[in-house]
Amino acid sequence: MPTASEFHGVRYQVADVARSVKFYVELLGFKVERQQLPAFANVSLGSLHLLLSGPGASGSRPMPDGRSQEPGGWNRIVLRVTDLTDAIAKLKQSNARFRNEMEEGPGGRQIQLLDPDGNPIELFEPGRH
């Protein structure tokens, strides 16, 4: 029985890979690991590798039943920030889109940011105990 050997990355479906690379690099501080425009890019933040698959990428092909792989949904990457209020203000200045307003709970504060294709990213500031 085959077993997984390690975490490789998270794949997001996008309409325009170059636009998505710019978003993740310029607004969120990711680093470009590899690009094969216009179909694919791998951007990283620490040990997180985000695999951006555009139309024509092997990771974007339709399923055998004909369903298309699309951006969005409710699963998301979570990025820790040190000052969520400041991060939100800076992102709003760049016309970033959010799904909700900042929420606060027992573990901390969070908000859901959307990338240019509607893929969700949670920004999270842990609570101070």
Q: What CATH number does residue 105 fall under?
A: 3.10.180.10
Q: Is the pLDDT of residue 129 over 70?
A: no
Please choose, from the candidates 66, 46, 50, 63, the residue with its C-alpha nearest in 3D space to the C-alpha of residue 17: 50
Work out whether strand 10-13 and strand 48-53 pair parallel, antiparallel, or are unpaired. Answer: parallel
**Burial grade of 53 (CB within 10 A; 0-12, 13-18, 19 or more):** buried
Q: Has residue 93 been placed in a domain?
A: yes
Q: Is the pLDDT of residue 29 over 90?
A: yes
Q: Has residue 66 been placed in a domain?
A: no
Q: What is the rounded distance in angstroms from the CA atom of residue 30 to the CA atom of residue 55?
A: 22
Detail the DSSP E strand segments found in 1-129: 10-13, 31-36, 40-45, 48-53, 77-80, 97-98, 103-105, 108-114, 120-126
Q: Has residue 64 been placed in a domain?
A: no
Query: Residue 50's domain spans which residues?
Result: 10-55+71-126
Please give the tally of structural domains in the chain.
1
User: How is residue 25 written in tokens?
Assistant: 């690099």
Q: Has residue 21 been placed in a domain?
A: yes
Q: Has residue 112 been placed in a domain?
A: yes
Q: Has residue 91 been placed in a domain?
A: yes
Q: Is the pTM higher than 0.75?
A: yes
pLDDT grade for 1, boundaries at 50, 70 and 90 = low
Backbone angles phi, psi at 56, to 5 degrees: 95, -15
Q: Has residue 60 been placed in a domain?
A: no
Q: Has residue 109 been placed in a domain?
A: yes
Give residue for tokens 């920030």.
Answer: 81
What percent of the chain stands above pLDDT 90? Answer: 74
Cβ neighbours of residue 86 closer than 8 Å, sequence gap 6 or more: none
